[in-house]
Amino acid sequence: MSVHTLDQAASVFVVVRPRLFGIAYRIVGNAPEAEDIVQDVWLRWQRTDRTAVIDPAAFLATATTRLSINLVRSARRRHELYVASWLPQVSAADDVDPQTQAERDEAIDLAARMLLERLSPAERATYVLREGFEYPYRQIAETLRIGAPNARQLVKRARDRLSSDRSRPYSPTAHSQFVSALVAASRTGELSDLEQFLTAGLAEQAA
């Protein structure tokens, strides 16, 4: 559907605006900045050559996702990162359209990078299970074979370190495996691959 006039552009934008706000809010973690991003997308939409846009809704969603991720990557946001908001929520029962799933996968990819860069394997494992999938501390302890008090301490330490500027090296293979496990958990609700990846990281750390 081609959008030529500004009135047509406005009509399309009004329809998809709630979805755009939802995308921005999931990534940046607060309403005021999400609203600013949506407004920025609207201004860009006015300046875009809309006759070349085949799918306006997909174009606007992609623009919103990119602007949101750029914001959380920016230097002024490094001490305010809230990685838990990017972690997947189990959604096997949801009727998720391909565009929304692509947006989720992109956010998961960013979360994986941040968690690999900033956390030790033990911190990462406990944080993902607690913040991403709401495991009780007792279940975390059983899954990772550590004490429950230790699990609590590791989650607390992970939260502190995610707001730091530290950066750990990690391999492309580890990133690819981590993303695949997170995406699978998000799409199917099956966490066995994710648990295996996290526990393998603990074993390597202990070796």
Q: How far apart are CA 205 and CA 207, in angstroms?
A: 6
Note the pLDDT of residue 40: 95
pTM over 0.85: no
Residue 41 CA: distances (Å) to CA of 20, 106, 160: 9, 18, 32
More confident: 128 or 165: 128
Domains of the chain, by residue range, sit at: 1-80, 81-207
Task: Place 70 in a pLDDT band, splitting at 50, 70 and 90.
Answer: confident
Which one-letter DSSP state was computed for residue 53?
-
Range 146-174 average pLDDT = 87
* Cα 172 to Cα 9: distance, rounded to the nearest angstrom: 41
pLDDT digits (tens, 9 = 90+) for 14-46: 999 999 998 888 777 778 888 999 999 999 999
Quick one: pLDDT band at residue 99, thresholds 50, 70, 90?
low
- Give mean pLDDT, residues 162-173: 81
We find that the CATH architecture of domain 1-80 is Orthogonal Bundle (1.10)
**pLDDT averaged over every residue in the chain:** 82
Which pLDDT does position 76 carry in this prediction?
46
Q: Is the pLDDT of residue 73 over 80?
A: no
Please report how many Cα atoms fall inside a 13 Å half-sphere around the Cα of residue 82, on the Cβ side: 8
> What is the gyration radius of the CA atoms in the chain, in angstroms?
19
Say if residues 63 and 41 touch (Cβ distance below 8 Å).
Answer: yes
Give the per-residue pLDDT at 162: 80
Q: What is the percent of the chain where pLDDT is above 70?
A: 82
Can you tell me the mean pLDDT for 145-154?
93
CA 186, 188, 191, 193 torsion-angle sign: negative
Q: What is the mean pLDDT of residues 170-183?
A: 89
Closest CA to 166 of 119, 118, 121: 118
Instruction: Look at residue 78 and tell me whether its pLDDT is greater than 70.
Output: no
pLDDT(154) > 90 = yes
Distance from C-alpha of 89 to C-alpha of 104, rounded to nearest angstrom: 10
Report pLDDT for 137.
93
